[in-house]
Structure 1
Amino acid sequence: MWVPWIGTGIEHLRLQQIDKGIYIDSVVVGSKHKQPFRVWYKIYCDSEWRVQTCLLHRYGPRSRELKFQVDSQGHWVDADNISLSALEGCIDVDISATPFTNTLPIRRLSLLPGQSTDILVTYISIPELEIVPVKKRYTCLETSDNGSLYHYENLTRGFATELHVDAQGLVLDYPEVWKRSWNEFF
Protein backbone atom coordinates (compact mmCIF):
# COMPACT_ATOMS: atom_id res chain seq x y z
CA MET A 1 0.00 0.00 0.00
CA TRP A 2 1.06 3.56 -0.72
CA VAL A 3 -0.26 6.86 0.60
CA PRO A 4 0.29 10.35 -0.80
CA TRP A 5 2.78 12.66 0.93
CA ILE A 6 0.13 15.40 0.95
CA GLY A 7 -3.63 15.06 1.02
CA THR A 8 -5.74 11.96 1.40
CA GLY A 9 -5.70 8.75 -0.57
CA ILE A 10 -4.39 5.24 -0.70
CA GLU A 11 -3.39 2.58 -3.18
CA HIS A 12 -3.79 -1.11 -2.42
CA LEU A 13 -1.95 -3.34 -4.89
CA ARG A 14 -1.72 -7.09 -5.31
CA LEU A 15 1.13 -8.44 -7.41
CA GLN A 16 1.38 -12.10 -8.38
CA GLN A 17 4.17 -13.74 -10.32
CA ILE A 18 2.67 -16.77 -12.01
CA ASP A 19 4.20 -19.34 -14.36
CA LYS A 20 3.70 -17.35 -17.55
CA GLY A 21 3.90 -13.80 -16.27
CA ILE A 22 3.06 -11.10 -13.77
CA TYR A 23 -0.44 -10.12 -12.74
CA ILE A 24 -1.18 -6.78 -11.05
CA ASP A 25 -4.54 -5.84 -9.53
CA SER A 26 -4.88 -2.50 -7.73
CA VAL A 27 -7.28 0.17 -6.57
CA VAL A 28 -6.37 3.82 -6.03
CA VAL A 29 -8.58 6.24 -4.11
CA GLY A 30 -7.61 9.88 -3.94
CA SER A 31 -8.39 13.39 -5.05
CA LYS A 32 -7.11 15.77 -7.67
CA HIS A 33 -7.99 19.46 -7.66
CA LYS A 34 -10.31 18.75 -4.69
CA GLN A 35 -12.27 16.20 -6.73
CA PRO A 36 -12.34 12.63 -5.39
CA PHE A 37 -11.64 9.68 -7.67
CA ARG A 38 -11.52 5.90 -7.47
CA VAL A 39 -9.66 3.91 -10.11
CA TRP A 40 -9.21 0.17 -10.36
CA TYR A 41 -6.62 -1.24 -12.72
CA LYS A 42 -5.27 -4.59 -13.85
CA ILE A 43 -2.06 -5.11 -15.75
CA TYR A 44 -0.78 -8.40 -17.11
CA CYS A 45 2.88 -8.68 -18.14
CA ASP A 46 4.85 -11.51 -19.64
CA SER A 47 7.66 -13.08 -17.59
CA GLU A 48 10.06 -10.33 -18.81
CA TRP A 49 7.84 -7.56 -17.35
CA ARG A 50 6.58 -6.41 -20.78
CA VAL A 51 2.99 -5.15 -20.56
CA GLN A 52 0.54 -7.29 -22.53
CA THR A 53 -2.84 -6.02 -21.32
CA CYS A 54 -4.02 -3.08 -19.26
CA LEU A 55 -7.53 -2.47 -17.97
CA LEU A 56 -8.60 0.66 -16.07
CA HIS A 57 -11.98 1.52 -14.64
CA ARG A 58 -12.79 4.95 -13.21
CA TYR A 59 -15.77 4.83 -10.88
CA GLY A 60 -18.14 7.67 -10.13
CA PRO A 61 -20.73 9.83 -11.86
CA ARG A 62 -18.75 9.64 -15.11
CA SER A 63 -17.60 6.02 -14.93
CA ARG A 64 -15.39 4.96 -17.78
CA GLU A 65 -13.35 1.92 -18.73
CA LEU A 66 -10.24 1.61 -20.87
CA LYS A 67 -8.75 -1.63 -22.12
CA PHE A 68 -5.57 -2.04 -24.16
CA GLN A 69 -3.39 -4.77 -25.52
CA VAL A 70 0.21 -4.32 -26.64
CA ASP A 71 2.70 -6.64 -28.26
CA SER A 72 6.45 -6.79 -27.57
CA GLN A 73 7.11 -4.32 -30.42
CA GLY A 74 4.89 -1.62 -28.92
CA HIS A 75 1.84 -2.00 -31.19
CA TRP A 76 -1.21 -0.98 -29.11
CA VAL A 77 -4.87 -1.82 -29.79
CA ASP A 78 -8.01 -0.96 -27.85
CA ALA A 79 -10.81 -3.30 -26.68
CA ASP A 80 -12.26 -3.30 -30.22
CA ASN A 81 -8.87 -4.30 -31.69
CA ILE A 82 -8.49 -0.84 -33.26
CA SER A 83 -4.87 0.27 -33.61
CA LEU A 84 -3.74 3.13 -31.38
CA SER A 85 -1.05 4.48 -33.68
CA ALA A 86 -0.26 7.47 -31.43
CA LEU A 87 1.16 4.96 -28.91
CA GLU A 88 3.38 3.18 -31.42
CA GLY A 89 6.66 2.13 -29.81
CA CYS A 90 5.48 2.42 -26.20
CA ILE A 91 6.36 -0.72 -24.24
CA ASP A 92 5.37 0.31 -20.72
CA VAL A 93 2.32 1.99 -19.24
CA ASP A 94 2.47 4.83 -16.70
CA ILE A 95 -0.68 5.53 -14.71
CA SER A 96 -0.37 8.96 -13.11
CA ALA A 97 -2.10 8.04 -9.84
CA THR A 98 0.28 5.24 -8.84
CA PRO A 99 3.97 4.85 -8.07
CA PHE A 100 3.75 1.18 -9.06
CA THR A 101 3.99 1.66 -12.82
CA ASN A 102 7.64 2.73 -12.33
CA THR A 103 8.27 -0.90 -11.34
CA LEU A 104 7.45 -2.07 -14.87
CA PRO A 105 10.44 -0.47 -16.66
CA ILE A 106 12.69 -0.87 -13.60
CA ARG A 107 12.15 -4.64 -13.63
CA ARG A 108 12.08 -4.95 -17.44
CA LEU A 109 15.29 -2.99 -17.99
CA SER A 110 17.34 -4.45 -15.10
CA LEU A 111 19.81 -1.56 -15.24
CA LEU A 112 23.16 -1.76 -13.46
CA PRO A 113 24.62 1.21 -11.55
CA GLY A 114 25.63 3.91 -14.02
CA GLN A 115 23.39 2.62 -16.81
CA SER A 116 20.66 4.83 -18.26
CA THR A 117 17.90 4.18 -20.78
CA ASP A 118 15.33 6.39 -22.52
CA ILE A 119 11.95 4.80 -23.08
CA LEU A 120 8.56 5.71 -24.51
CA VAL A 121 5.55 4.94 -22.31
CA THR A 122 1.80 5.11 -22.62
CA TYR A 123 0.88 7.75 -20.02
CA ILE A 124 -2.65 7.69 -18.60
CA SER A 125 -3.71 10.71 -16.53
CA ILE A 126 -6.05 10.10 -13.62
CA PRO A 127 -8.89 10.90 -13.20
CA GLU A 128 -9.20 12.29 -16.76
CA LEU A 129 -8.09 9.03 -18.47
CA GLU A 130 -6.30 11.00 -21.17
CA ILE A 131 -3.73 8.89 -22.99
CA VAL A 132 -0.52 10.21 -24.53
CA PRO A 133 2.98 8.89 -25.27
CA VAL A 134 5.63 10.26 -22.92
CA LYS A 135 9.42 9.96 -23.13
CA LYS A 136 11.18 8.98 -19.89
CA ARG A 137 14.67 8.19 -18.70
CA TYR A 138 15.68 5.83 -15.92
CA THR A 139 19.22 5.86 -14.55
CA CYS A 140 20.32 3.31 -11.97
CA LEU A 141 22.39 5.13 -9.35
CA GLU A 142 23.06 2.29 -6.93
CA THR A 143 21.93 -1.20 -5.98
CA SER A 144 22.14 -3.33 -2.85
CA ASP A 145 20.55 -6.50 -1.49
CA ASN A 146 17.82 -4.31 0.05
CA GLY A 147 16.93 -2.29 -3.04
CA SER A 148 18.07 0.34 -5.49
CA LEU A 149 18.09 4.05 -6.16
CA TYR A 150 17.05 5.40 -9.57
CA HIS A 151 17.13 8.86 -11.08
CA TYR A 152 13.83 9.18 -12.92
CA GLU A 153 13.15 11.83 -15.57
CA ASN A 154 9.97 12.61 -17.45
CA LEU A 155 11.62 14.11 -20.52
CA THR A 156 8.32 15.23 -22.05
CA ARG A 157 7.25 17.24 -19.01
CA GLY A 158 10.67 18.30 -17.67
CA PHE A 159 10.30 16.58 -14.29
CA ALA A 160 12.96 14.63 -12.38
CA THR A 161 13.28 12.91 -9.01
CA GLU A 162 15.01 10.01 -7.32
CA LEU A 163 13.09 6.81 -6.63
CA HIS A 164 14.02 4.45 -3.82
CA VAL A 165 12.85 0.91 -4.59
CA ASP A 166 12.99 -2.32 -2.61
CA ALA A 167 14.68 -5.54 -3.77
CA GLN A 168 11.59 -6.37 -5.90
CA GLY A 169 11.69 -2.99 -7.67
CA LEU A 170 8.62 -1.65 -5.83
CA VAL A 171 8.74 2.04 -4.96
CA LEU A 172 9.44 2.78 -1.30
CA ASP A 173 9.55 6.54 -1.68
CA TYR A 174 8.53 8.83 -4.54
CA PRO A 175 9.56 12.15 -2.95
CA GLU A 176 6.71 14.57 -2.33
CA VAL A 177 4.24 12.33 -4.17
CA TRP A 178 3.90 8.78 -2.72
CA LYS A 179 5.39 6.73 0.11
CA ARG A 180 4.86 3.09 0.89
CA SER A 181 2.81 2.59 4.03
CA TRP A 182 2.56 -1.19 4.27
CA ASN A 183 4.07 -4.20 2.57
CA GLU A 184 3.51 -7.91 2.90
CA PHE A 185 4.42 -10.67 0.51
CA PHE A 186 2.37 -13.84 0.37
Structure 2
Amino acid sequence: MTTTILFWRRLDVEGLERLELTVTPDAILADSSVICLEAGGFRLDHRWRLSPEWRALSVRVERWGPEGHHALALERTGAGWRVGGAARPDLDGAEEPDVSVTPFCNTFPIRRTPQAPGASLTLDTAFIDGAALTVARSRQRYDRQGPGRLRYVDLGLSAGFQADLVVDSRGLVVAYEHLFERIAPPT
Protein backbone atom coordinates (compact mmCIF):
# COMPACT_ATOMS: atom_id res chain seq x y z
CA MET A 1 0.00 0.00 0.00
CA THR A 2 1.27 3.47 -0.87
CA THR A 3 -0.23 6.79 0.15
CA THR A 4 0.60 10.08 -1.55
CA ILE A 5 -0.56 13.57 -0.58
CA LEU A 6 -1.01 16.03 -3.47
CA PHE A 7 -1.86 19.74 -3.46
CA TRP A 8 -3.17 21.82 -6.34
CA ARG A 9 -3.64 25.58 -6.45
CA ARG A 10 -6.33 27.15 -8.64
CA LEU A 11 -5.02 29.68 -11.13
CA ASP A 12 -8.30 31.25 -12.28
CA VAL A 13 -9.70 32.02 -8.80
CA GLU A 14 -8.41 31.72 -5.23
CA GLY A 15 -8.54 28.05 -4.27
CA LEU A 16 -6.59 25.09 -2.98
CA GLU A 17 -7.04 21.31 -3.02
CA ARG A 18 -5.51 18.61 -0.81
CA LEU A 19 -5.87 15.04 -2.08
CA GLU A 20 -4.81 11.84 -0.31
CA LEU A 21 -4.28 9.01 -2.79
CA THR A 22 -3.98 5.44 -1.53
CA VAL A 23 -3.03 2.63 -3.92
CA THR A 24 -3.45 -0.99 -2.86
CA PRO A 25 -3.33 -4.16 -4.97
CA ASP A 26 -7.16 -4.30 -4.93
CA ALA A 27 -8.25 -0.67 -5.21
CA ILE A 28 -7.29 2.96 -5.51
CA LEU A 29 -8.87 5.36 -3.05
CA ALA A 30 -8.78 9.15 -3.13
CA ASP A 31 -10.08 11.52 -0.49
CA SER A 32 -9.89 15.23 -1.20
CA SER A 33 -11.00 18.65 0.00
CA VAL A 34 -11.22 21.75 -2.17
CA ILE A 35 -11.55 25.22 -0.66
CA CYS A 36 -12.42 27.93 -3.16
CA LEU A 37 -13.61 31.55 -3.16
CA GLU A 38 -15.54 31.00 -6.41
CA ALA A 39 -19.37 31.14 -6.28
CA GLY A 40 -19.49 32.88 -2.89
CA GLY A 41 -16.88 30.59 -1.35
CA PHE A 42 -17.29 26.87 -0.77
CA ARG A 43 -15.71 23.67 0.46
CA LEU A 44 -16.11 20.59 -1.70
CA ASP A 45 -15.04 17.12 -0.57
CA HIS A 46 -14.79 14.28 -3.08
CA ARG A 47 -14.12 10.63 -2.25
CA TRP A 48 -13.27 8.15 -5.00
CA ARG A 49 -13.12 4.39 -5.27
CA LEU A 50 -11.27 3.20 -8.38
CA SER A 51 -10.38 -0.18 -9.82
CA PRO A 52 -6.68 -1.15 -9.90
CA GLU A 53 -6.81 -0.13 -13.61
CA TRP A 54 -7.76 3.46 -12.63
CA ARG A 55 -11.42 3.16 -13.68
CA ALA A 56 -13.79 5.11 -11.44
CA LEU A 57 -16.24 2.85 -9.63
CA SER A 58 -17.82 5.56 -7.48
CA VAL A 59 -17.43 9.12 -6.31
CA ARG A 60 -19.20 10.94 -3.50
CA VAL A 61 -19.18 14.73 -3.61
CA GLU A 62 -20.22 16.97 -0.72
CA ARG A 63 -20.42 20.75 -0.96
CA TRP A 64 -20.72 23.36 1.76
CA GLY A 65 -21.35 26.96 0.74
CA PRO A 66 -23.60 29.98 1.26
CA GLU A 67 -26.62 27.89 0.21
CA GLY A 68 -25.89 25.14 2.77
CA HIS A 69 -24.74 21.53 2.50
CA HIS A 70 -25.48 19.31 -0.51
CA ALA A 71 -24.25 15.83 -1.47
CA LEU A 72 -24.14 13.74 -4.61
CA ALA A 73 -23.17 10.10 -5.15
CA LEU A 74 -22.27 8.68 -8.55
CA GLU A 75 -21.81 4.93 -8.93
CA ARG A 76 -20.84 2.80 -11.94
CA THR A 77 -23.33 0.06 -12.90
CA GLY A 78 -21.83 -1.91 -15.78
CA ALA A 79 -21.87 0.51 -18.73
CA GLY A 80 -24.08 3.01 -16.92
CA TRP A 81 -24.28 5.17 -13.82
CA ARG A 82 -26.55 5.73 -10.84
CA VAL A 83 -26.81 9.22 -9.35
CA GLY A 84 -28.12 9.28 -5.80
CA GLY A 85 -29.15 5.63 -6.22
CA ALA A 86 -31.30 6.34 -9.32
CA ALA A 87 -30.40 5.01 -12.78
CA ARG A 88 -29.36 7.71 -15.25
CA PRO A 89 -29.80 6.25 -18.76
CA ASP A 90 -28.57 9.55 -20.27
CA LEU A 91 -25.13 8.68 -18.83
CA ASP A 92 -25.00 5.15 -20.31
CA GLY A 93 -21.67 4.69 -22.05
CA ALA A 94 -20.00 7.63 -20.28
CA GLU A 95 -16.57 6.23 -19.51
CA GLU A 96 -15.55 8.27 -16.47
CA PRO A 97 -16.77 10.99 -14.10
CA ASP A 98 -15.23 14.45 -14.35
CA VAL A 99 -15.57 16.84 -11.40
CA SER A 100 -15.16 20.46 -12.50
CA VAL A 101 -13.12 21.69 -9.51
CA THR A 102 -10.26 19.16 -9.56
CA PRO A 103 -7.61 17.99 -12.03
CA PHE A 104 -7.52 14.56 -10.36
CA CYS A 105 -10.17 12.97 -12.60
CA ASN A 106 -8.22 13.90 -15.74
CA THR A 107 -5.80 11.15 -14.68
CA PHE A 108 -8.22 8.36 -15.67
CA PRO A 109 -8.36 9.18 -19.41
CA ILE A 110 -4.75 10.44 -19.44
CA ARG A 111 -3.55 6.99 -18.34
CA ARG A 112 -5.47 5.42 -21.27
CA THR A 113 -4.32 7.89 -23.94
CA PRO A 114 -1.80 6.15 -26.21
CA GLN A 115 1.81 7.25 -25.59
CA ALA A 116 2.73 8.06 -29.22
CA PRO A 117 2.91 11.80 -29.97
CA GLY A 118 -0.16 12.79 -31.96
CA ALA A 119 -2.29 9.95 -30.54
CA SER A 120 -5.72 10.87 -29.17
CA LEU A 121 -8.42 9.51 -26.89
CA THR A 122 -12.01 10.76 -27.15
CA LEU A 123 -14.54 9.82 -24.48
CA ASP A 124 -17.84 10.77 -22.94
CA THR A 125 -17.87 11.68 -19.26
CA ALA A 126 -20.40 12.08 -16.48
CA PHE A 127 -19.54 15.73 -15.81
CA ILE A 128 -20.20 16.91 -12.25
CA ASP A 129 -20.52 20.69 -11.94
CA GLY A 130 -18.91 21.43 -8.56
CA ALA A 131 -20.80 24.69 -8.05
CA ALA A 132 -24.28 23.34 -8.85
CA LEU A 133 -23.74 19.64 -7.97
CA THR A 134 -25.42 18.55 -11.17
CA VAL A 135 -24.41 15.70 -13.48
CA ALA A 136 -24.59 15.86 -17.29
CA ARG A 137 -23.04 13.92 -20.12
CA SER A 138 -20.14 15.67 -21.85
CA ARG A 139 -17.48 14.78 -24.44
CA GLN A 140 -13.70 15.31 -24.20
CA ARG A 141 -10.56 14.58 -26.16
CA TYR A 142 -6.97 14.14 -24.98
CA ASP A 143 -4.23 14.68 -27.58
CA ARG A 144 -0.76 13.33 -26.72
CA GLN A 145 1.84 16.01 -27.49
CA GLY A 146 4.86 14.13 -26.16
CA PRO A 147 6.11 12.45 -22.98
CA GLY A 148 4.19 13.91 -20.04
CA ARG A 149 2.37 16.45 -22.21
CA LEU A 150 -1.21 16.42 -23.49
CA ARG A 151 -3.82 18.83 -24.75
CA TYR A 152 -7.32 18.64 -23.29
CA VAL A 153 -10.10 19.60 -25.73
CA ASP A 154 -13.70 19.97 -24.55
CA LEU A 155 -16.15 18.76 -27.20
CA GLY A 156 -19.26 18.90 -24.99
CA LEU A 157 -20.64 21.28 -22.37
CA SER A 158 -17.75 23.76 -22.71
CA ALA A 159 -17.08 23.12 -26.40
CA GLY A 160 -14.09 25.04 -27.65
CA PHE A 161 -12.19 25.10 -24.34
CA GLN A 162 -8.65 23.75 -24.67
CA ALA A 163 -5.75 23.52 -22.24
CA ASP A 164 -2.25 22.08 -22.28
CA LEU A 165 -1.49 19.61 -19.49
CA VAL A 166 1.80 18.49 -17.97
CA VAL A 167 1.60 15.19 -16.08
CA ASP A 168 3.94 13.07 -13.98
CA SER A 169 4.86 9.43 -14.63
CA ARG A 170 1.57 8.27 -13.02
CA GLY A 171 -0.56 10.51 -15.23
CA LEU A 172 -1.35 12.91 -12.38
CA VAL A 173 -1.60 16.55 -13.40
CA VAL A 174 1.36 18.78 -12.56
CA ALA A 175 0.14 21.79 -14.57
CA TYR A 176 -3.24 22.43 -16.21
CA GLU A 177 -3.07 25.57 -18.32
CA HIS A 178 -5.28 28.39 -17.01
CA LEU A 179 -6.76 26.35 -14.12
CA PHE A 180 -4.46 24.34 -11.81
CA GLU A 181 -0.86 23.83 -10.76
CA ARG A 182 0.49 21.25 -8.36
CA ILE A 183 2.35 22.68 -5.41
CA ALA A 184 4.40 21.19 -2.59
CA PRO A 185 3.96 22.30 1.01
CA PRO A 186 7.00 24.00 2.56
CA THR A 187 9.37 21.56 4.24
**What is the TM-score of this pair, normalised by structure 2?**
0.88
1:111 match: 114
Counterpart of 1:56 (choices 49, 54, 61) is 61
2:93 match: 89
CA distance in 2, matches of 1:20, 1:95: 24
1:171 match: 173
Give the alignment's Cα RMSD to 1 decimal. Answer: 1.5
Displacement of 1:72 in angstroms is: 4.7
Q: How has the CA–CA distance of structure 1 residues 21 and 121 changed in structure 2, closer, same or farther, with 3 Å as cutoff?
A: same
1:141 match: 145
2:16 match: 10
1:68 match: 74
Displacement of 1:131 in angstroms is: 1.1
SS at structure 1 position matched to 2:165:
strand
CA distance in 1, matches of 2:108, 2:73: 18
Displacement of 1:42 in angstroms is: 0.6
Displacement of 1:161 in angstroms is: 1.4
Displacement of 1:85 in angstroms is: 1.0
1:35-59 alpha-carbon deviations (Å, 9 max, x no partner): 1010000111111111111100012
SS at structure 2 position matched to 1:63:
strand
CA distance in 2, matches of 1:101, 1:119: 13
1:26 match: 32
Instruction: State, as a whole percentage, how many aligned pairs show the same letter.
Output: 27
Q: Which amino acid aligns with 1:120?
A: D
Ranges in structure 2 where 5+ consecutive residues have no aligned partner: 1-6
1:70-93 alpha-carbon deviations (Å, 9 max, x no partner): 0352x101343x211111111211
Q: How has the CA–CA distance of structure 1 residues 154 and 110 changed in structure 2, closer, same or farther, with 3 Å as cutoff?
A: closer
**What is the TM-score of this pair, normalised by structure 1?**
0.88
CA distance in 1, matches of 2:15, 2:137: 26
